[in-house]
C-alpha cells in the first residue's frame, strides 16, 4: 500500500469567504486542500455573506467552540422599504413596498436605539435550535416558527452612507456585536422602527474576535498555496490571555490536572517552557482547571 501523507500541523486558517458557498462548502474544500478530514469552522456565515470565516485544522478544531463565543464585526447594506421572509435578499418579498419617510438624523436616531444591550428575535430561518431542531429546518418542513427574544449586545451600529431611489432607501452600516447577534434581524427591526420594513442586501464579516480580513485568504488563494494562517501556539496566544508554565506544571496539565488559579477572568491559554500550547484553562475558585487539553500526555 502507498504510504499515507502525514497530517498537516494543527492551526487556524482564516478564510475570506466568497458570496455563494455555505460555510460547510468551505470546510469541504479546505479538507481537500489541507489533506485532512479534521477541519471545522467557528461561527457560520450565510451563503450570501462574505468575509472572515475561522477554520480549525487538526487539534485546533478544539478551539472553535470557544472562538465562536467572541465578538464579531460586519459591514452591511440594509434596504429599507421592503421586508422578505428571510430578512435578507435571498428571501421572497413580503407585502408591498413601504417608502421610508425619514431624514438622515432620524436614521441615525433609529440605529442608535438598536445599540447597546437589546432584546432581539432571531430570523425564522436562523440556525437557532428549537427543541433540538434548527429553526431554518423547521421552516423548510412547513412549520410555523416562533423564536423567543434573547439578549444581545450591539456595541456599534454606525450609519456610513445613505442612498435613496424611489421607494428604496439603502444604508451602508458597520456593526460591532456579541456572538449570537443577527445583522439580518437588525435590518428588519430598523425598518419596523421607521414605520417601514427592511432587509439585508449585503453582509461582510470583517472580524471574529482578534482575527480580521488582514489575516484572511480566499479559497482560491489557499488552493494555490496551502498553509496555515496561524499555527496552534500562535492561534492560542492571539485569541486568549497567555500563561507560561514551568516543566512540572506543564506535565500536570498534559495529564489533565488542575493548577493554582491564575487570577485571570475567562478562558486563557497555558504554554510549556518550549512555547507549545498545552491547554485552555479557566479559574474555578482557587484552582485552574483544563477546559480543553491540546497536548495530552502520551
Tell which wins on pLDDT, 219 or 144: 219
Least confident of 87-91, 203-207, 218-222: 87-91
Answer yes or no: is pLDDT of 128 > 70.
no
Q: Assess whether 161 and 201 both reside in one domain.
A: yes
What pLDDT does 101 receive? 87
Q: Assess whether 64 and 97 both reside in one domain.
A: no
pLDDT in tens, 263-278: 999 999 999 999 999 9
Answer yes or no: is pLDDT of 1 > 60.
no
Residue 186 within a domain? yes
Domain boundary among 160, 189, 205: 205
Q: Assess whether 65 and 82 both reside in one domain.
A: no
Where residue 249 sits, what CATH number does that domain have? 2.30.130.10
Domain hosting residue 64, numbered range: 11-70+209-232
Q: Assess whether 150 and 228 both reside in one domain.
A: no
| Catalytic one of 16, 18, 25, 46 | 46
What pLDDT does 68 receive? 77
Answer yes or no: is pLDDT of 127 > 70.
no
Answer yes or no: is pLDDT of 133 > 80.
no
Residue 12 CA to residue 67 CA, distance in Å, equals: 11
Beta bridge partners of 73: 176, 207
pLDDT in tens, 28-48: 999 999 999 999 999 889 899
Pairing of strands 287-293, 277-284: antiparallel
Answer yes or no: is pLDDT of 61 > 90.
yes
Where residue 65 sits, what CATH number does that domain have? 3.30.2350.10
* Catalytic status, residue 18: no
Q: Assess whether 50 and 160 both reside in one domain.
A: no
Tell me if 197 sits within 8 A of 167, measured CB to CB: no
Answer yes or no: is pLDDT of 125 > 80.
no
What pLDDT does 253 receive? 96
Average pLDDT, the chain: 91
Residue 6 within a domain? no
Answer yes or no: is pLDDT of 2 > 50.
no
Q: Assess whether 155 and 225 both reside in one domain.
A: no
Cα–Cα distances in angstroms (integers) from residue 44 to residues 127, 131, 182, in the given order: 9, 20, 11
Q: CB-based burial of residue 122 (10 Å sphere; 0-12 exposed, 13-18 middle, 19+ buried)?
A: buried
Residue 170 within a domain? yes
Dihedral pair phi/psi, residue 43, rounded to 5°: 75, 100
Q: CB-based burial of residue 213 (10 Å sphere; 0-12 exposed, 13-18 middle, 19+ buried)?
A: middle
What number is the average pLDDT over the span 181-189?
Answer: 96
Residue 298 within a domain? no
Residue 1 within a domain? no
Answer yes or no: is pLDDT of 243 > 90.
yes
Tell me if 203 sits within 8 A of 49, measured CB to CB: yes
Residue 151 within a domain? yes
Q: Assess whether 146 and 176 both reside in one domain.
A: yes
Q: Which of 292, 284, 256, 242 is nearest to 66 (CA)?
A: 292
CA 6 to the chain's CA centroid: 30
Least confident of 95-99, 170-174, 255-259: 95-99
Residue 194 CA to residue 197 CA, distance in Å, equals: 8
Q: Assess whether 82 and 143 both reside in one domain.
A: yes
Dihedral pair phi/psi, residue 139, rounded to 5°: -65, -45
Q: CB within 8 A of 287, min separation 6: which ones?
A: 258, 259, 260, 261
Residue 160 CA to residue 157 CA, distance in Å, equals: 10
pLDDT band at 294 (very low <50, low <70, confident <90, very high): very high
Residue 60 within a domain? yes
Q: Assess whether 190 and 273 both reside in one domain.
A: no
Q: Assess whether 246 and 195 both reside in one domain.
A: no
DSSP secondary structure letters along 47-108:
TT-EEEEEEEEGGGGGGHHHHTTS-EEEEEEEEET-EETTSBTTS-EESS-------HHHHH
Dihedral pair phi/psi, residue 232, rounded to 5°: -60, -45
Q: Assess whether 95 and 197 both reside in one domain.
A: yes
What number is the average pLDDT over the span 53-60?
Answer: 96
What number is the average pLDDT over the span 235-251?
Answer: 96
pLDDT band at 143 (very low <50, low <70, confident <90, very high): low
pLDDT in tens, 152-165: 999 999 999 999 98
Domain count, the chain: 3
Residue 4 within a domain? no
Q: CB-based burial of residue 262 (10 Å sphere; 0-12 exposed, 13-18 middle, 19+ buried)?
A: middle
Vertex 94 angle, CA 88 and 96, to 5°: 120
What pLDDT does 145 receive? 67
What number is the average pLDDT over the span 226-253?
Answer: 96
What pLDDT does 270 receive? 98
pLDDT band at 147 (very low <50, low <70, confident <90, very high): confident
pLDDT band at 3 (very low <50, low <70, confident <90, very high): very low
Q: Assess whether 23 and 60 both reside in one domain.
A: yes
Amino acid at each position: 500500500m502507498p504510504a499515507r501523507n502525514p497530517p498537516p500541523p494543527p492551526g487556524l486558517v482564516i478564510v475570506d469567504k466568497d458570496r455563494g458557498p455555505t460555510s460547510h462548502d468551505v470546510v469541504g474544500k479546505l479538507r481537500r486542500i489541507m489533506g485532512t478530514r479534521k477541519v471545522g469552522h467557528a461561527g457560520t456565515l450565510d451563503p450570501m455573506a462574505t468575509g472572515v470565516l475561522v477554520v480549525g485544522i487538526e487539534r485546533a478544531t478544539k478551539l472553535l467552540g470557544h472562538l465562536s463565543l467572541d465578538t464579531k464585526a460586519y459591514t452591511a447594506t440594509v434596504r429599507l422599504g421592503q421586508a422578505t421572509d428571510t430578512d435578507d435578499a435571498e428571501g421572497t418579498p413580503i407585502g408591498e413596498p413601504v417608502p421610508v419617510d425619514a431624514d438622515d438624523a432620524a436614521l441615525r436616531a433609529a440605529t442608535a436605539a438598536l445599540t447597546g444591550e437589546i432584546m432581539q428575535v432571531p430570523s425564522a430561518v436562523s440556525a437557532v435550535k428549537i427543541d433540538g431542531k434548527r429553526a431554518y429546518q423547521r421552516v423548510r418542513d412547513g412549520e410555523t416558527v416562533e423564536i423567543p427574544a434573547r439578549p444581545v449586545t450591539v456595541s456599534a451600529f454606525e450609519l456610513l452612507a445613505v442612498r435613496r431611489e424611489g421607494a428604496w432607501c439603502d444604508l451602508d452600516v458597520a456593526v460591532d456585536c456579541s456572538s449570537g447577534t443577527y445583522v439580518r434581524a437588525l435590518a428588519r427591526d430598523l425598518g419596523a422602527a421607521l414605520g417601514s420594513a427592511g432587509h439585508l442586501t449585503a453582509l461582510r464579516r470583517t472580524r471574529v474576535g482578534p482575527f480580521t480580513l488582514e489575516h484572511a485568504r480566499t479559497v482560491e488563494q489557499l488552493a494555490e498555496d496551502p498553509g496555515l494562517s496561524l499555527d496552534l501556539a500562535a492561534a492560542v496566544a492571539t485569541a486568549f490571555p497567555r500563561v507560561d508554565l514551568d516543566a512540572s506544571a506543564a506535565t500536570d496539565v498534559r495529564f489533565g490536572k488542575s493548577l493554582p488559579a491564575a487570577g485571570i477572568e475567562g478562558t486563557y491559554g497555558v504554554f510549556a517552557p518550549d512555547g507549545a500550547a498545552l491547554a485552555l484553562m479557566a479559574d474555578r475558585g482557587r484552582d485552574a482547571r483544563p477546559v480543553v487539553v491540546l497536548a495530552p500526555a502520551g
